[in-house]
Structure 1
Amino acid sequence: MTERADLDDLLQPDDGREDAASPSPTRRRSLIAVGGVLIAAGLVAGAWAVLGAGGGAPLALATPGASSPAAGPSPSGTLVDSATPAESASPSTDPSAAPEAAAPPADAPVAAPTIPVFEADTVTVSCPDERESTVPLIFRWSSDGAERAWIGIATSDASVQPFAEVPLTTDGYADIAYACRDADQVYTLTVQGSGGTTSSTVAVSRASS
Protein backbone atom coordinates (compact mmCIF):
# COMPACT_ATOMS: atom_id res chain seq x y z
CA MET A 1 0.00 0.00 0.00
CA THR A 2 2.87 2.38 0.76
CA GLU A 3 4.50 1.87 -2.60
CA ARG A 4 1.21 2.58 -4.46
CA ALA A 5 0.78 5.82 -2.51
CA ASP A 6 4.24 6.96 -3.44
CA LEU A 7 3.54 6.23 -7.13
CA ASP A 8 0.31 8.21 -6.98
CA ASP A 9 2.18 11.13 -5.45
CA LEU A 10 4.67 11.15 -8.35
CA LEU A 11 1.94 10.98 -10.97
CA GLN A 12 -0.23 13.61 -9.25
CA PRO A 13 1.03 17.20 -10.18
CA ASP A 14 1.42 19.66 -7.38
CA ASP A 15 -0.88 22.58 -8.26
CA GLY A 16 0.78 24.83 -5.71
CA ARG A 17 4.33 24.42 -7.14
CA GLU A 18 5.61 26.01 -10.39
CA ASP A 19 7.85 23.80 -12.46
CA ALA A 20 11.17 25.60 -12.69
CA ALA A 21 12.12 23.75 -15.93
CA SER A 22 9.01 24.99 -17.84
CA PRO A 23 9.43 28.59 -19.12
CA SER A 24 6.65 31.12 -18.78
CA PRO A 25 4.77 32.42 -21.88
CA THR A 26 6.53 35.86 -21.63
CA ARG A 27 9.97 34.29 -21.56
CA ARG A 28 9.05 32.00 -24.46
CA ARG A 29 8.11 34.98 -26.65
CA SER A 30 11.38 36.74 -25.78
CA LEU A 31 13.36 33.68 -26.79
CA ILE A 32 11.51 33.43 -30.11
CA ALA A 33 12.19 37.12 -30.89
CA VAL A 34 15.89 36.81 -30.09
CA GLY A 35 16.13 33.69 -32.22
CA GLY A 36 14.48 35.46 -35.18
CA VAL A 37 16.93 38.38 -34.94
CA LEU A 38 19.89 36.00 -34.86
CA ILE A 39 18.62 34.12 -37.92
CA ALA A 40 18.07 37.39 -39.88
CA ALA A 41 21.55 38.60 -38.94
CA GLY A 42 23.01 35.31 -40.10
CA LEU A 43 21.26 35.60 -43.48
CA VAL A 44 22.48 39.17 -44.02
CA ALA A 45 26.04 38.25 -43.10
CA GLY A 46 25.91 35.30 -45.48
CA ALA A 47 24.67 37.50 -48.34
CA TRP A 48 27.48 40.03 -47.75
CA ALA A 49 30.04 37.24 -47.71
CA VAL A 50 28.76 35.81 -51.01
CA LEU A 51 28.71 39.18 -52.76
CA GLY A 52 32.13 40.13 -51.41
CA ALA A 53 33.64 36.89 -52.68
CA GLY A 54 32.15 37.47 -56.17
CA GLY A 55 33.54 41.07 -56.55
CA GLY A 56 30.07 42.58 -56.96
CA ALA A 57 28.57 45.59 -55.25
CA PRO A 58 26.89 44.99 -51.91
CA LEU A 59 23.20 44.24 -52.11
CA ALA A 60 21.10 47.10 -50.79
CA LEU A 61 18.15 46.02 -48.74
CA ALA A 62 14.89 47.55 -49.88
CA THR A 63 13.15 49.62 -47.26
CA PRO A 64 9.37 49.43 -47.35
CA GLY A 65 7.78 52.73 -48.44
CA ALA A 66 11.00 54.21 -49.87
CA SER A 67 10.80 55.49 -53.43
CA SER A 68 13.52 54.96 -55.99
CA PRO A 69 15.98 57.91 -56.32
CA ALA A 70 15.70 60.23 -59.32
CA ALA A 71 19.43 60.08 -59.99
CA GLY A 72 21.76 57.12 -60.09
CA PRO A 73 25.26 56.26 -61.25
CA SER A 74 25.70 55.65 -64.96
CA PRO A 75 27.76 52.70 -66.26
CA SER A 76 30.77 55.07 -66.59
CA GLY A 77 30.50 56.22 -62.98
CA THR A 78 29.02 59.67 -63.80
CA LEU A 79 25.99 60.80 -61.91
CA VAL A 80 23.07 61.28 -64.30
CA ASP A 81 20.10 63.36 -63.28
CA SER A 82 17.05 61.77 -64.89
CA ALA A 83 14.92 64.83 -64.11
CA THR A 84 16.98 67.11 -66.40
CA PRO A 85 15.87 66.84 -70.08
CA ALA A 86 18.56 66.55 -72.72
CA GLU A 87 19.42 69.73 -74.57
CA SER A 88 17.85 69.77 -78.01
CA ALA A 89 20.02 70.66 -80.99
CA SER A 90 19.01 73.95 -82.56
CA PRO A 91 20.50 75.96 -85.46
CA SER A 92 22.76 78.85 -84.62
CA THR A 93 21.01 82.19 -84.38
CA ASP A 94 24.11 84.38 -84.32
CA PRO A 95 22.90 87.94 -85.01
CA SER A 96 26.35 88.89 -86.31
CA ALA A 97 26.06 86.51 -89.29
CA ALA A 98 26.11 88.51 -92.52
CA PRO A 99 23.01 88.13 -94.76
CA GLU A 100 23.43 86.68 -98.19
CA ALA A 101 23.82 89.13 -101.04
CA ALA A 102 20.61 89.66 -103.00
CA ALA A 103 20.66 88.29 -106.53
CA PRO A 104 20.07 90.78 -109.34
CA PRO A 105 16.50 90.85 -110.67
CA ALA A 106 15.85 88.43 -113.49
CA ASP A 107 14.14 91.12 -115.58
CA ALA A 108 17.13 93.53 -115.59
CA PRO A 109 17.36 95.35 -118.95
CA VAL A 110 19.93 94.09 -121.46
CA ALA A 111 22.27 96.71 -122.91
CA ALA A 112 22.05 97.45 -126.62
CA PRO A 113 24.99 96.37 -128.83
CA THR A 114 27.71 98.90 -129.65
CA ILE A 115 29.80 99.77 -132.75
CA PRO A 116 33.25 100.84 -131.58
CA VAL A 117 34.57 101.29 -135.16
CA PHE A 118 32.89 102.04 -138.50
CA GLU A 119 34.89 103.90 -141.14
CA ALA A 120 35.61 104.12 -144.87
CA ASP A 121 39.08 104.26 -146.42
CA THR A 122 38.23 107.75 -147.69
CA VAL A 123 35.52 110.34 -147.15
CA THR A 124 36.30 112.24 -150.37
CA VAL A 125 36.14 110.51 -153.72
CA SER A 126 37.93 111.75 -156.88
CA CYS A 127 35.75 110.94 -159.87
CA PRO A 128 36.62 111.15 -163.62
CA ASP A 129 34.80 113.61 -165.85
CA GLU A 130 32.21 110.96 -166.74
CA ARG A 131 29.38 111.13 -164.19
CA GLU A 132 28.44 107.50 -164.81
CA SER A 133 31.65 106.12 -163.33
CA THR A 134 31.98 104.52 -159.84
CA VAL A 135 34.80 104.44 -157.31
CA PRO A 136 35.21 101.40 -154.99
CA LEU A 137 35.16 101.97 -151.25
CA ILE A 138 36.61 99.87 -148.41
CA PHE A 139 34.86 99.80 -145.02
CA ARG A 140 36.08 98.52 -141.66
CA TRP A 141 34.03 98.03 -138.51
CA SER A 142 33.67 96.12 -135.25
CA SER A 143 30.73 95.51 -132.87
CA ASP A 144 30.09 94.31 -129.30
CA GLY A 145 27.01 92.45 -128.09
CA ALA A 146 25.56 92.10 -131.58
CA GLU A 147 23.98 89.03 -133.16
CA ARG A 148 23.34 90.35 -136.71
CA ALA A 149 24.65 93.21 -138.85
CA TRP A 150 23.64 95.00 -142.09
CA ILE A 151 25.11 97.73 -144.25
CA GLY A 152 22.93 100.13 -146.24
CA ILE A 153 23.16 103.10 -148.63
CA ALA A 154 21.21 106.34 -148.23
CA THR A 155 19.54 105.19 -145.00
CA SER A 156 19.92 105.72 -141.28
CA ASP A 157 18.83 102.13 -140.40
CA ALA A 158 20.36 99.39 -142.53
CA SER A 159 18.18 96.72 -140.85
CA VAL A 160 15.16 98.39 -142.48
CA GLN A 161 16.78 99.22 -145.87
CA PRO A 162 19.75 96.87 -146.16
CA PHE A 163 22.19 96.72 -149.03
CA ALA A 164 23.46 93.42 -147.62
CA GLU A 165 23.75 91.48 -144.38
CA VAL A 166 27.39 91.57 -143.31
CA PRO A 167 29.72 90.08 -140.68
CA LEU A 168 29.73 91.50 -137.18
CA THR A 169 33.38 92.52 -137.56
CA THR A 170 35.59 93.02 -140.63
CA ASP A 171 38.90 94.65 -141.61
CA GLY A 172 37.94 95.26 -145.25
CA TYR A 173 34.52 95.21 -146.89
CA ALA A 174 34.74 96.24 -150.59
CA ASP A 175 31.37 95.26 -152.05
CA ILE A 176 30.09 98.85 -152.17
CA ALA A 177 31.20 101.51 -154.69
CA TYR A 178 30.64 105.23 -154.72
CA ALA A 179 28.51 106.48 -157.64
CA CYS A 180 30.10 109.59 -159.10
CA ARG A 181 26.73 110.98 -160.13
CA ASP A 182 26.05 111.69 -156.44
CA ALA A 183 27.59 114.77 -154.90
CA ASP A 184 27.66 112.96 -151.56
CA GLN A 185 26.31 109.78 -150.01
CA VAL A 186 25.81 108.19 -146.58
CA TYR A 187 26.58 104.59 -145.67
CA THR A 188 25.17 103.04 -142.52
CA LEU A 189 26.10 99.98 -140.46
CA THR A 190 23.30 98.65 -138.23
CA VAL A 191 23.81 95.85 -135.67
CA GLN A 192 21.13 94.03 -133.70
CA GLY A 193 21.30 92.18 -130.37
CA SER A 194 19.14 91.17 -127.39
CA GLY A 195 19.10 94.77 -126.16
CA GLY A 196 17.95 96.31 -129.48
CA THR A 197 19.65 97.84 -132.54
CA THR A 198 22.47 100.38 -132.97
CA SER A 199 23.48 102.25 -136.14
CA SER A 200 26.57 104.16 -137.22
CA THR A 201 26.82 106.30 -140.42
CA VAL A 202 29.74 107.45 -142.56
CA ALA A 203 29.31 110.30 -145.10
CA VAL A 204 31.35 110.29 -148.32
CA SER A 205 31.38 113.16 -150.83
CA ARG A 206 32.69 113.71 -154.36
CA ALA A 207 35.69 115.95 -154.74
CA SER A 208 35.14 119.05 -156.77
CA SER A 209 36.78 119.02 -160.23
Structure 2
Amino acid sequence: MQMQNRQSQNAVLIGVLLVVCALAGGCWNPFRKEPIAGSQRAGSLTNGYSLLVGLAGQESKVGLVTWVRDYDGEVGDLLEDVQEAAKDINGWLGDISGRLKSNGVLMDRNGLPEVEQWARNWIEGRTRKTILGGKIQKSELVMVLSQAKATEYIAALCAGLANIEVNDARRDKLKKYAARFESLNERCLGLLKVKGEDEMKKEKAEEEREEDADEQGEERL
Protein backbone atom coordinates (compact mmCIF):
# COMPACT_ATOMS: atom_id res chain seq x y z
CA MET A 1 0.00 0.00 0.00
CA GLN A 2 2.81 2.37 0.91
CA MET A 3 4.55 1.47 -2.34
CA GLN A 4 1.45 2.38 -4.36
CA ASN A 5 1.08 5.69 -2.53
CA ARG A 6 4.73 6.52 -3.17
CA GLN A 7 4.38 5.72 -6.87
CA SER A 8 1.28 7.89 -7.09
CA GLN A 9 3.08 10.76 -5.38
CA ASN A 10 6.04 10.42 -7.75
CA ALA A 11 3.73 10.44 -10.76
CA VAL A 12 2.01 13.59 -9.51
CA LEU A 13 5.36 15.25 -8.82
CA ILE A 14 6.64 14.45 -12.31
CA GLY A 15 3.44 15.79 -13.83
CA VAL A 16 3.73 19.04 -11.88
CA LEU A 17 7.36 19.47 -12.92
CA LEU A 18 6.48 18.96 -16.59
CA VAL A 19 3.72 21.55 -16.40
CA VAL A 20 6.05 24.05 -14.73
CA CYS A 21 8.71 23.44 -17.36
CA ALA A 22 6.21 23.83 -20.16
CA LEU A 23 4.93 27.12 -18.76
CA ALA A 24 8.39 28.46 -18.06
CA GLY A 25 9.80 27.34 -21.41
CA GLY A 26 13.18 26.96 -19.82
CA CYS A 27 13.75 23.20 -19.78
CA TRP A 28 13.20 20.21 -21.98
CA ASN A 29 9.68 18.90 -22.29
CA PRO A 30 9.09 15.59 -24.12
CA PHE A 31 5.57 16.71 -25.06
CA ARG A 32 6.64 20.05 -26.49
CA LYS A 33 6.39 20.30 -30.28
CA GLU A 34 7.71 23.84 -30.66
CA PRO A 35 11.25 25.25 -30.28
CA ILE A 36 12.22 27.13 -27.14
CA ALA A 37 12.96 30.83 -27.63
CA GLY A 38 16.63 31.60 -27.06
CA SER A 39 17.73 27.99 -27.51
CA GLN A 40 20.38 26.82 -29.96
CA ARG A 41 17.68 24.97 -31.88
CA ALA A 42 15.65 28.16 -32.30
CA GLY A 43 18.76 29.94 -33.56
CA SER A 44 19.50 27.21 -36.10
CA LEU A 45 15.90 27.26 -37.32
CA THR A 46 16.05 31.05 -37.62
CA ASN A 47 19.11 30.86 -39.87
CA GLY A 48 17.68 28.07 -41.99
CA TYR A 49 14.22 29.54 -42.44
CA SER A 50 15.67 33.00 -43.18
CA LEU A 51 17.82 31.57 -45.98
CA LEU A 52 14.85 29.63 -47.34
CA VAL A 53 12.58 32.69 -47.29
CA GLY A 54 15.15 34.76 -49.18
CA LEU A 55 15.78 32.19 -51.89
CA ALA A 56 12.13 31.19 -52.29
CA GLY A 57 11.25 34.86 -52.65
CA GLN A 58 13.73 35.25 -55.50
CA GLU A 59 12.62 32.08 -57.26
CA SER A 60 8.95 33.05 -57.01
CA LYS A 61 9.70 35.73 -59.63
CA VAL A 62 12.00 33.75 -61.91
CA GLY A 63 9.37 33.40 -64.63
CA LEU A 64 9.39 37.17 -65.22
CA VAL A 65 12.49 36.77 -67.37
CA THR A 66 10.32 35.27 -70.12
CA TRP A 67 8.78 38.72 -70.57
CA VAL A 68 12.04 39.93 -72.10
CA ARG A 69 13.63 36.69 -73.37
CA ASP A 70 11.92 34.29 -75.76
CA TYR A 71 13.11 30.97 -74.40
CA ASP A 72 12.67 27.47 -75.77
CA GLY A 73 9.43 25.75 -74.70
CA GLU A 74 11.17 23.34 -72.31
CA VAL A 75 13.04 26.14 -70.59
CA GLY A 76 9.91 28.25 -70.30
CA ASP A 77 7.96 25.33 -68.82
CA LEU A 78 10.75 24.66 -66.33
CA LEU A 79 10.82 28.27 -65.16
CA GLU A 80 7.05 28.26 -64.76
CA ASP A 81 7.15 25.11 -62.62
CA VAL A 82 10.01 26.42 -60.48
CA GLN A 83 8.19 29.70 -59.97
CA GLU A 84 4.98 27.88 -59.00
CA ALA A 85 6.82 25.68 -56.48
CA ALA A 86 8.61 28.71 -55.02
CA LYS A 87 5.34 30.62 -54.65
CA ASP A 88 3.84 27.59 -52.94
CA ILE A 89 6.61 27.28 -50.37
CA ASN A 90 6.73 31.06 -49.95
CA GLY A 91 3.04 31.09 -49.06
CA TRP A 92 3.50 28.26 -46.59
CA LEU A 93 6.41 30.04 -44.92
CA GLY A 94 4.19 33.08 -44.51
CA ASP A 95 1.50 30.94 -42.89
CA ILE A 96 3.84 29.45 -40.28
CA SER A 97 5.92 32.56 -39.59
CA GLY A 98 3.63 33.86 -36.83
CA ARG A 99 3.67 30.63 -34.83
CA LEU A 100 7.43 30.29 -35.19
CA LYS A 101 8.01 33.92 -34.22
CA SER A 102 6.13 33.39 -30.96
CA ASN A 103 8.62 30.61 -30.20
CA GLY A 104 11.73 32.63 -30.98
CA VAL A 105 12.22 31.59 -34.62
CA LEU A 106 12.45 34.59 -36.97
CA MET A 107 12.52 34.50 -40.76
CA ASP A 108 13.99 37.92 -41.53
CA ARG A 109 17.55 37.42 -40.35
CA ASN A 110 20.56 37.41 -42.66
CA GLY A 111 22.86 34.74 -41.31
CA LEU A 112 25.54 35.23 -43.98
CA PRO A 113 28.89 36.92 -43.32
CA GLU A 114 29.24 40.32 -44.99
CA VAL A 115 31.84 39.22 -47.54
CA GLU A 116 29.86 36.13 -48.54
CA GLN A 117 26.74 38.25 -49.02
CA TRP A 118 28.74 40.65 -51.18
CA ALA A 119 30.10 37.73 -53.24
CA ARG A 120 26.60 36.34 -53.77
CA ASN A 121 25.32 39.73 -54.90
CA TRP A 122 28.25 40.02 -57.31
CA ILE A 123 27.57 36.59 -58.82
CA GLU A 124 23.85 37.35 -59.05
CA GLY A 125 24.53 40.61 -60.90
CA ARG A 126 26.92 38.92 -63.32
CA THR A 127 24.47 36.11 -63.99
CA ARG A 128 21.59 38.53 -64.54
CA LYS A 129 23.67 40.50 -67.04
CA THR A 130 24.36 37.36 -69.09
CA ILE A 131 20.75 36.19 -68.94
CA LEU A 132 19.27 39.52 -69.99
CA GLY A 133 21.94 40.76 -72.38
CA GLY A 134 23.70 37.72 -73.82
CA LYS A 135 22.88 35.70 -76.92
CA ILE A 136 19.69 33.69 -76.54
CA GLN A 137 21.49 30.32 -76.56
CA LYS A 138 23.93 31.36 -73.86
CA SER A 139 21.16 33.08 -71.92
CA GLU A 140 19.16 29.85 -71.85
CA LEU A 141 22.19 27.85 -70.77
CA VAL A 142 23.07 30.22 -67.93
CA MET A 143 19.43 30.44 -66.83
CA VAL A 144 19.07 26.67 -66.60
CA LEU A 145 22.40 26.46 -64.77
CA SER A 146 21.24 29.07 -62.25
CA GLN A 147 18.01 27.15 -61.69
CA ALA A 148 19.92 23.91 -61.19
CA LYS A 149 21.87 25.60 -58.39
CA ALA A 150 18.81 27.29 -56.87
CA THR A 151 16.57 24.21 -56.84
CA GLU A 152 19.36 22.09 -55.36
CA TYR A 153 19.95 24.65 -52.62
CA ILE A 154 16.25 24.91 -51.76
CA ALA A 155 15.97 21.11 -51.63
CA ALA A 156 19.00 20.96 -49.34
CA LEU A 157 17.66 23.72 -47.08
CA CYS A 158 14.31 21.96 -46.75
CA ALA A 159 15.99 18.65 -45.95
CA GLY A 160 18.29 20.32 -43.43
CA LEU A 161 15.43 22.14 -41.72
CA ALA A 162 13.38 18.95 -41.60
CA ASN A 163 16.30 17.31 -39.82
CA ILE A 164 16.16 19.80 -36.92
CA GLU A 165 12.48 20.77 -36.96
CA VAL A 166 10.68 19.70 -33.76
CA ASN A 167 7.15 20.07 -35.13
CA ASP A 168 5.92 16.94 -36.92
CA ALA A 169 3.62 18.74 -39.37
CA ARG A 170 6.30 21.22 -40.44
CA ARG A 171 8.89 18.46 -40.70
CA ASP A 172 6.66 16.43 -43.03
CA LYS A 173 5.92 19.50 -45.14
CA LEU A 174 9.62 20.32 -45.46
CA LYS A 175 10.38 16.77 -46.58
CA LYS A 176 7.74 17.05 -49.31
CA TYR A 177 9.17 20.36 -50.49
CA ALA A 178 12.67 18.86 -50.48
CA ALA A 179 11.47 16.05 -52.76
CA ARG A 180 9.62 18.49 -55.02
CA PHE A 181 12.64 20.73 -55.55
CA GLU A 182 14.94 17.75 -55.94
CA SER A 183 12.72 16.61 -58.80
CA LEU A 184 12.92 20.08 -60.35
CA ASN A 185 16.68 19.96 -59.96
CA GLU A 186 16.84 16.69 -61.89
CA ARG A 187 14.87 18.33 -64.71
CA CYS A 188 17.34 21.21 -64.70
CA LEU A 189 20.31 18.87 -64.92
CA GLY A 190 18.75 16.92 -67.78
CA LEU A 191 17.95 20.10 -69.69
CA LEU A 192 21.37 21.51 -68.89
CA LYS A 193 23.00 18.52 -70.56
CA VAL A 194 20.90 18.98 -73.69
CA LYS A 195 21.51 22.73 -73.87
CA GLY A 196 25.21 22.26 -73.22
CA GLU A 197 25.53 19.74 -76.03
CA ASP A 198 23.59 22.02 -78.39
CA GLU A 199 25.86 24.94 -77.52
CA MET A 200 28.97 22.85 -78.17
CA LYS A 201 27.61 21.74 -81.55
CA LYS A 202 26.90 25.33 -82.54
CA GLU A 203 30.36 26.48 -81.48
CA LYS A 204 31.95 23.64 -83.42
CA ALA A 205 29.88 24.48 -86.51
CA GLU A 206 30.93 28.14 -86.28
CA GLU A 207 34.59 27.14 -86.00
CA GLU A 208 34.27 24.91 -89.06
CA ARG A 209 32.63 27.72 -91.05
CA GLU A 210 35.44 30.08 -90.08
CA GLU A 211 38.05 27.52 -91.11
CA ASP A 212 36.30 26.99 -94.46
CA ALA A 213 36.18 30.74 -95.02
CA ASP A 214 39.90 31.05 -94.26
CA GLU A 215 40.74 28.22 -96.65
CA GLN A 216 38.66 29.77 -99.42
CA GLY A 217 40.39 33.08 -98.86
CA GLU A 218 43.81 31.46 -99.14
CA GLU A 219 42.83 29.69 -102.37
CA ARG A 220 41.81 32.98 -103.94
CA LEU A 221 45.18 34.43 -103.07
Asked if Structure 1 and Structure 2 have the same fold, meaning a TM-score greater than 0.5 normalized by the shorter chain, the answer is no
Structure number with higher relative contact order (C-alpha < 8 Å, ≥ 6 residues apart): 2
Range into which the TM-score falls when normalised by the shorter chain: under 0.3
The alignment's TM-score, normalised by the length of structure 1, stands at 0.23
More helix by share: 2
More strand by share: 1
Larger Rg: 1
The alignment's TM-score, normalised by the length of structure 2, stands at 0.22
